């Protein structure tokens, strides 16, 4: 203890005096956001550092200029394929060991640790419900899962069982079964709504600190086999109940396209759909937007004045404007709605930009463009592209650059059987998360800096 | 401590290093090679009888580092399973140190470019943070709580999710 170095450090707390890169290395190895939180709130000095975006960016590698890569924490997927028949259900009831919870595959350098791990290592799951879960979508840190019925009366499609959890905060919800009185029906789309979304009245954009990552509502649509009608259901976390369904779309005329998971924008959930009737006559002019206002559950269908084509995908641009990306094999046509903040009644013009899909990082057997791929909105004007046999890329629709995130998803797409398995990208901006959660507490010390940042990161 | 003879060209040569507080140490060349900084100096013939001065590494951590490198250099290639196990046990025991020594090792290993030791010390520090309450962290790392009780209450209230040590079993509604 007599060494000069230890002596010199004693004036401050030892760990704070370590070189910045060593400190960051230590924190990025903790592998749990909650544990980092518990460290951040030990004293003012650490609270200040954990609300300093520059410091936080050092924690998540791949921040780069835009930080798209840093937002991708990893993927959730279910390794087991659940066959929904009575015999299998009986078998599963007796063989508890043969199932496993969804797996989390971290992106390289993910703050959630370097190794694959089970969803249940994040979230308490004493009754094993999540062992029978298939991830469907994720938004703002919240993962939506379809649960597989474990008792005989709930077989087939007559019941929909759903669960949600936030692996970062440990929040967990198992929703009451959605009964359909014997009529088979299919889940066609969904929207995970946070408390911050429900607070918005369309214009207001004040960040409510924790609401950004707290589950508040689930919207979903199902299609009935017999009458082709699409029904909208909404579940409220506050009342723990489903609202009575409303008919929202005629499945004979319209069909949902693009992502099943909604783009939630200024308190409204949006999906794309196409007009099946006019699309035959006018091949470019058939794109519609199905919108549900979160607070009122008001449904509206708006024709989009854009030339559609390719595979369309709804996105939100960096400056928080709604856009439609029509993805073709070699290029993307992006339509961005100008002005008109969420105002559906005053049609705002849509601006077209075209980008060629850049040749990303050179890759052996480079034949990306003709490979089957999946595309997802990745917020802030970017799109996540999963090429089945080469890797995961993020395409920045504004900067027109493509960034490679990770190599071939061996464990996700390894064999033919698993090709139709959904893997859910788990995206969360941890810089934003820390600043929003803790920023309010250090307001006196760092003044307006946190607040301003909080506003600037709110989409 | 100036007893080593100089047999230039011998691969079993001992390398001498000097800590910031003037203490001399020596270790086999193979051990010194585990440090990037030392290896480059050896390659450039800067390792002489006077010893390589390490201005930011004090004697106590340096003694540990010499220990670490000597052990790891002796068992560097072609490890049997038992040997690998033994090395693991050595590491686990080696890093059981107080936080002051841990900080010194972190800085020194980083400075000297001893990758294995860096990783070991970083992981140990990270492990100390895992699963702790703020109070436990303060105790472990000697951090002084400078929040007022009101501020502490606000932190707990705003971040309830983090402070729920035992999560509710399930919210079946």
Q: What pLDDT, in 10s, does the model give residues A291-345?
A: 999 988 899 999 988 888 888 899 988 888 899 999 887 788 999 988 755 455 5
pLDDT of residue A115: 85
The beta-carbon neighbor of A441 closest among B126, B144, B158 is: B158
pLDDT of residue A80: 73
Q: Is residue A382 part of a domain?
A: yes
Q: Is residue B171 part of a domain?
A: no
Number of domains in chain A: 1
Q: Is residue A62 part of a domain?
A: no
- The region of weakest confidence among A163-172, A449-458, B64-73, B96-105 is A449-458
Complex ipTM value: 0.85
Tell the burial category of B68 from Cβ atoms under 10 Å away from its Cβ (0-12, 13-18, 19+): buried
Q: Do B145 and A438 touch (CB under 8 A)?
A: no
Run of H or E residues at A145:
strand A142-147
Task: Give residues with Cβ within 8 angstroms of A312, minimum separation 6.
Answer: A257, A258, A272, A287, A324, A325, A326, A327
Q: Is residue B162 part of a domain?
A: no
pLDDT grade for A364, boundaries at 50, 70 and 90: very low
The per-residue pLDDT for range A237-282, each reduced to its tens digit, is 999 999 888 989 988 889 898 888 999 988 999 999 988 888 777 7
pLDDT grade for B167, boundaries at 50, 70 and 90: very low
The beta-carbon neighbor of A42 closest among B122, B143, B169 is: B143
pLDDT of residue A217: 94
pLDDT of residue A453: 47
What span, in angstroms and rounded, lies between the C-alpha atoms of A414 and A393? 18
Q: Is residue A168 part of a domain?
A: no
**The token pair that represents A224 in the structure block:** 């009935």
Is A7 touching B (CB cutoff 8 A)?
Answer: no
- Residue B114: give its domain's CATH number: 3.30.710.10
pLDDT of residue A124: 83
Length of chain A: 459
CB-defined contacts A:B, below 8 A: 147
Q: What is the CA radius of gyration of chain B?
A: 22
Q: Do B143 and A31 touch (CB under 8 A)?
A: no
- Computed from CA positions of residues B149, B155, B158, B161, in that sequence, does the dihedral angle turn out positive or negative? negative
pLDDT higher than 90, residue A440: no
Using an 8 Å Cβ cutoff, are A445 and A48 in contact? yes
Q: Domain span at residue B98?
A: 14-129
- Over range B92-98, report the average pLDDT: 95
Q: Do B155 and A441 touch (CB under 8 A)?
A: yes
Q: Is residue B51 part of a domain?
A: yes
Which B residues, 20 through 59, put their C-beta within 8 Å of a C-beta on chain A? 20-21, 56, 58-59
- Determine the distance from the C-alpha atom of residue B42 to the mean position of all C-alpha atoms in its chain, rounded to a whole number: 22
Q: Is residue B2 part of a domain?
A: no
**The token pair that represents B19 in the structure block:** 């800590």
Helix (H, G, I), strand (E, B) or coil at A128: coil
Task: Give residues with Cβ within 8 angstroms of B153, minimum separation 6.
Answer: none
Number of domains in chain B: 1
Using an 8 Å Cβ cutoff, are B163 and A66 in contact? no
- What is the chain A residue with the closest CA to B137? A39
Strand partners, A264: A269
Specify the pTM: 0.81
Q: Is residue A320 part of a domain?
A: yes
Q: Domain span at residue A330?
A: 309-340+348-359+370-413
C-alpha distances in Å from residue A139, one per residue of A193, A213, A218: 8, 9, 11
Gap between the terminal Cα atoms of chain A: 51
pLDDT of residue A443: 55
The per-residue pLDDT for range A190-238, each reduced to its tens digit, is 999 998 887 765 444 444 556 888 899 999 998 877 778 899 999 999 9
The per-residue pLDDT for range A387-422, each reduced to its tens digit, is 766 678 888 888 888 888 887 655 554 444 444 456
pLDDT higher than 50, residue A108: yes
Most confident residue range from A140-154, A275-289, A325-339, B20-34:
B20-34
Q: Is residue B110 part of a domain?
A: yes
- Over range B11-27, report the average pLDDT: 88
Q: Is residue B169 part of a domain?
A: no
* Averaged pLDDT score across all residues of chain A: 78
C-alpha distances in Å from residue A138, one per residue of A74, A123, A249, A429, A437: 11, 15, 24, 13, 20
Q: Is residue A445 part of a domain?
A: no
Q: Is residue A333 part of a domain?
A: yes
């Amino acid at each position: 203890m007599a060494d000069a170095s230890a002596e010199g450090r004693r004036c401050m707390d030892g760990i704070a005096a370590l070189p910045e890169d060593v400190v960051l290395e230590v924190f990025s190895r903790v592998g749990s956001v909650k544990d980092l939180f518990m460290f951040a709130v030990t004293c003012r000095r650490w609270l200040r550092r954990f609300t300093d975006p520059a410091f936080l960016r050092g924690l998540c590698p791949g921040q780069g200029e835009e930080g798209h890569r840093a937002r991708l924490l990893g993927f959730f997927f279910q390794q087991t394929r659940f066959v929904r028949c009575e015999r299998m259900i009986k078998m599963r009831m007796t063989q508890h060991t043969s199932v496993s919870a969804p797996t989390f595959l971290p992106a390289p350098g993910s703050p959630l640790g370097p190794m694959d791990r089970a969803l249940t290592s994040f979230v308490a799951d004493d009754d094993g419900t999540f062992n029978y879960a298939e991830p469907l979508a994720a938004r703002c840190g919240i993962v939506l899962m379809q649960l597989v019925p474990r008792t005989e009366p709930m077989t087939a499609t007559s019941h929909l069982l759903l669960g949600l959890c936030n692996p970062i905060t440990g929040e967990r919800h198992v929703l009451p079964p959605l009964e359909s009185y014997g009529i088979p029906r299919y889940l066609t789309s969904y929207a995970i709504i946070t408390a911050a979304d429900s607070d918005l009245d369309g214009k207001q954009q004040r960040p409510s600190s924790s609401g950004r990552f707290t589950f508040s509502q689930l919207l979903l649509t199902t299609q009935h086999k017999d009458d082709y009608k699409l029904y909208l259901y909404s579940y409220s976390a506050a009342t723990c109940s489903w609202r009575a369904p409303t008919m929202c779309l005629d499945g004979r005329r319209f069909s949902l396209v693009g992502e099943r998971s909604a783009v939630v924008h200024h308190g409204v959930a949006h999906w794309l759909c196409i007009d099946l009737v006019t699309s035959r006559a006018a091949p470019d002019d058939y794109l519609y937007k199905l919108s549900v206002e979160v607070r009122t559950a008001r449904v509206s269908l708006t024709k989009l004045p854009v030339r559609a084509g390719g595979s369309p995908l709804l996105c939100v641009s960096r400056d928080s404007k709604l856009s439609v990306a029509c993805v073709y094999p070699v290029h993307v046509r992006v339509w961005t709605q100008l002005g008109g903040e969420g105002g559906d009644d005053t049609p705002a013009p849509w601006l077209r930009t075209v980008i060629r899909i850049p040749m990303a990082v050179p890759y052996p057997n480079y034949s990306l463009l003709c490979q089957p791929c999946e595309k997802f909105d990745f917020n802030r004007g970017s799109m996540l592209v999963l090429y089945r046999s080469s890797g995961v890329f993020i395409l920045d629709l504004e900067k027109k650059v493509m960034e490679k995130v990770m190599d071939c998803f061996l464990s996700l797409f390894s064999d033919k059987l698993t090709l139709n398995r959904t893997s859910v990208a788990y995206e969360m901006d941890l810089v934003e998360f820390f600043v929003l959660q803790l920023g309010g507490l250090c307001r006196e010390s760092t003044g307006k800096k946190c607040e301003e940042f909080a506003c600037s990161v709110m989409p | 401590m100036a007893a080593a003879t100089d047999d230039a060209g011998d691969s079993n040569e001992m390398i001498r290093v000097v800590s910031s507080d003037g203490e001399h140490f020596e270790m086999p060349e193979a051990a010194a090679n585990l440090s990037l900084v030392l290896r480059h100096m050896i390659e450039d013939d800067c390792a002489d009888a006077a010893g390589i001065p390490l201005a930011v590494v004090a004697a106590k951590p340096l003694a540990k580092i010499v220990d670490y490198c000597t052990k790891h250099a002796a068992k560097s290639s072609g490890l049997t399973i038992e040997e690998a196990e033994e090395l693991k046990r050595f590491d686990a025991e080696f890093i059981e140190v107080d936080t002051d020594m841990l900080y010194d090792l972190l800085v020194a290993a980083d400075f000297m470019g001893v990758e294995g030791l860096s990783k070991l010390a970083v992981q140990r520090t990270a492990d100390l943070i895992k699963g702790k309450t703020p109070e436990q962290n303060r105790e472990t790392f000697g951090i002084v709580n400078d929040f007022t009780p009101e501020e502490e209450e606000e932190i707990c209230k705003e971040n309830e999710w983090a402070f729920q040590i035992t999560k509710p079993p399930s919210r079946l509604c």
